[in-house]
A and B are shown apart, each in its own frame.
Chain A
């Protein structure tokens, strides 16, 4: 299987572990990710609320650049996924925007026919296109005994309604059950991580982060699994600040779901980008997975 691939800017630096593990997992599952040539920024979470038309044009350029023989575009980052999908939807629904965006694209010698490319999140591709049977077959190291809290964040399931539940998504839960993990029923799985609120008002952002961490602790999770670089950054990089602010003592590893999928598929931690997270996942992995191996 072959998909067009839009990595997005986070994957190059702060989410390098996500990029590494995505590539490893893709190779292992046998699908090819063809990076969109000369892609540009998706506008992140802010641009659309500032200037919808310009933002759409900027994002649509990426859709226009998808190689003509490919009609599915995979984005691992939740914000990139949402912006790409939203732009395609907007162009399908709104003839005025569609015309104006194509006018802008034409200036660069490009055009995009709304609806041509199906934008998908990486999780959806792994969950739907590979499915339970084929993934179970590939598991060489079961995650048995490891308690994971699947965290979807807000952007992948909303506002665009995909196949998973908008209010209480379950695809990552199921994927990790296939891998043998104990999946906790993480009640805040689709709540907001604060996004860029850390830059605007720390107390508000820290409270949102604290709730997510606290709930994972309440459910005795060993780690939180992310599918969005923004979420991972907020929960991981701000964890010590949150501890300082509230006087709490969280030590919750925050890793990408592809990293743990890679572990189950038998890859070394280093190949999967472990060690780049600030709250190390290694103690938990060693305790739970080694313990099982010795049995």
Chain B
């Protein structure tokens, strides 16, 4: 019996109708496509009236298949599948045709757009006839969650979930949680002490009964899918026994080997070879840096082992691979600082008294290498003038096109600290002052009143080439002051570069492990930039904080909490639906060659040793089709993407100008005859 197909073409206001003649598409489909019993256009098909129309037609006209030509299935596939289900039609018998992103938004020629839309609608209509009813599967959600990254966003997410009673594995690459926020002295615009508001959260996370802290650890491998991920984590060898160590710190104190701390102290302070990055570190268990440890590099020393009162030093310790099972994953992996040496015209690395903002944060920090004294690179001279340069590596097509979002406010904060702690004059060189959150503009006004100087213009160079005696021995900031409309040279003692936030070097790699992608700039891509900012295209994987895009502390905390709320929703629901779009193997025809076993990127194919056949584990299969294409016997079928459906779709797309022409010619001939 022939299928009864309904075609529904959406105007999407003027989004589609502006460049596609939707009425013509609907009319044409009704007349030319076989088995179509109803073909309509409508202003907003996703509206309740639009959905009701489809439901009504299914019931009264006995539709057995539905094609909705509208936007991307990412947006409304669920909507229309639900409408079909409401009317008693299996939701997998509904097919969406994307004539918005694939046609109207990328076309300017209305006639061509209309023809393309017809071809796509025809393709869907031919394919939908061969679609089979499918039943979704449900899996239980493991209530445990993996949070990757122990900065403020990850901490917030972990604590929200743990406080709600759910187990959390918090993985952090560095020896301590805390992230970049632990490095700062003050936070804008309230100027509260960064450590004072962060460390309570850190120690809470360290002691929480529901949080398993895995510091100095990295994510190795992720398998499974939403509700039931299996995650392998590498716990790097600390060379300190976690259970025996009391965190007394004698080992670090006595360690004879000092090295520059390029991570926590941003390169301006030192640490020992066995170290805990800062006094409030959580956990307090130190690690041995084998690249600088005298015992590991030269085979002699072992002072730490000798002084340790609990015999906790273990030079034989090895990396440990552990496996945990979780239902959801939150990535909160943060950012790295732009390498200012890439802009040699600003002198970083060449001119001693040019600092990065992170170095300067450590200078200002009372727990930093200078005890909070703002001094030049010589370690003693207080600057009489400080220039703060905005947008270094941000808003610059040569490096990062985007705005780093936090630097204007951070520059104001640093300016305030200089004015508070020294008698120096402070100059801010900005392109635009961006202070657009609660209490931010007020903070800018405060700095104007405090006497910080503002010069609007991008700095051309920082140089030590003096042109007159006033400039002798100074760093000269050359800039076009775009408000005055003239070139200025301002000699200062110290320059601070507000460096861009960049994605972590391995962000892409980690994203691939979890099945999510990055934007052009390298930040993780959210499911929807406005309406679904913490979910990703992979169910069960969420993002929070700067890894999704540059943002400040309040925004990172909000995202951490939002991601936790999304995960809690999944846990409360208890089970998630899994798309039934999976591969199946016809065991009769399977030769047991096992080619598919190794190809499957999701480890979803097991081998039955007894029967000598391969079998797909439906809960793990993502329906990618790799095995379907690879099977030499051709006995693997991808549900919803079988050969018959795909060939029909291709034939539909090629409904064909040629065929239409022949038709027209026949019509013309018959007229002339």
Contacts and interface: CB of A to CB of B under 8 A. Distances in A.
A92 interface: no
Contact of A165 (B344, B465, B467): B344
Contacts of B344: 165, 167-168, 170
A211 B344 CA distance: 20
Contacts of B467: 211, 214
B350 A167 contact: no
B343 interface: yes
A168 B345 contact: yes
A211 B345 contact: no
A185 B345 CA distance: 12
A187 interface: yes
Contacts of B350: 185
A49 B345 CA distance: 28
B343 A187 contact: no
B210 to A, nearest CB: 52
Contacts of A165: 344-345
A188 B465 contact: yes
A170 B349 CA distance: 14
B470 to A, nearest CB: 14
B465 A211 contact: yes
A182 B213 CA distance: 52
A167 B465 contact: no
A215 B467 CA distance: 9
A218 interface: yes
B344 to A, nearest CB: 4
A95 B610 CA distance: 71
Contacts of A214: 465-467
A218 B461 contact: no
**Interface range, A side:** 10 to 19
Interface string B457-470: 00001011111000
B459 to A, nearest CB: 11
Contacts of A168: 344-345, 461
Contacts of B461: 167-168, 187
A168 B345 CA distance: 6
A218 B465 contact: yes
Nearest to B347: A187
Nearest to A170: B344
Nearest to A191: B465
A168 B465 CA distance: 14
Interface string A159-173: 000000101101000
Interface residues of B, number: 10
Interface string A162-200: 000101101000000000000001011000000000000
Interface in B418-476: 461, 463-467
A118 to B, nearest CB: 22
A214 B464 CA distance: 12
B119 to A, nearest CB: 33
Interface string A10-28: 0000000000000000000
Interface in B69-121: none
A188 B345 CA distance: 10
B383 to A, nearest CB: 20
A214 B461 CA distance: 18
Contacts of B463: 187-188
Nearest to A167: B345
Contacts of A185: 350
B350 to A, nearest CB: 6
Interface in A131-160: none
A170 B464 CA distance: 18
A189 B471 CA distance: 18
Nearest to A219: B465
A275 to B, nearest CB: 30
Contacts of A218: 465-466
A188 B467 CA distance: 11
Nearest to A207: B467
A285 B461 CA distance: 33
B343 A167 contact: yes
Nearest to B472: A218
Nearest to B460: A167
A165 B341 CA distance: 11
A167 B465 CA distance: 15
Contacts of B465: 187-188, 211, 214-215, 218
Nearest to A188: B465
A168 B464 CA distance: 14
A211 B463 CA distance: 12
A237 to B, nearest CB: 22
A162 to B, nearest CB: 13
A170 B467 CA distance: 23
A187 B461 CA distance: 10
A217 B448 CA distance: 41
Interface string B249-287: 000000000000000000000000000000000000000
A6 B461 CA distance: 33
A211 B461 CA distance: 15
Nearest to B476: A187
A214 B465 CA distance: 8
Centre residue among B344, B345, B463, B465 by max chain A CB count within 10 A: B465
A205 B467 CA distance: 14
A168 B398 CA distance: 14
Centre residue among A187, A214, A215 by max chain B CB count within 10 A: A187
Contacts of B466: 214, 218
A165 B467 CA distance: 24
Interface in B340-366: 343-345, 350
11 contacts: A165-B344, A167-B343, A167-B345, A167-B461, A168-B461, A170-B344, A187-B465, A188-B465, A211-B465, A211-B467, A215-B465
Closest 5 CB pairs of A and B: A168-B344, A167-B345, A187-B465, A215-B465, A187-B463
Interface of B: 343-345, 350, 461, 463-467
Given A167-B345, A218-B466, 20 more contacts: A165-B344, A167-B343, A167-B461, A168-B344, A168-B345, A168-B461, A170-B344, A185-B350, A187-B461, A187-B463, A187-B464, A187-B465, A188-B463, A188-B465, A211-B467, A214-B465, A214-B466, A214-B467, A215-B465, A218-B465
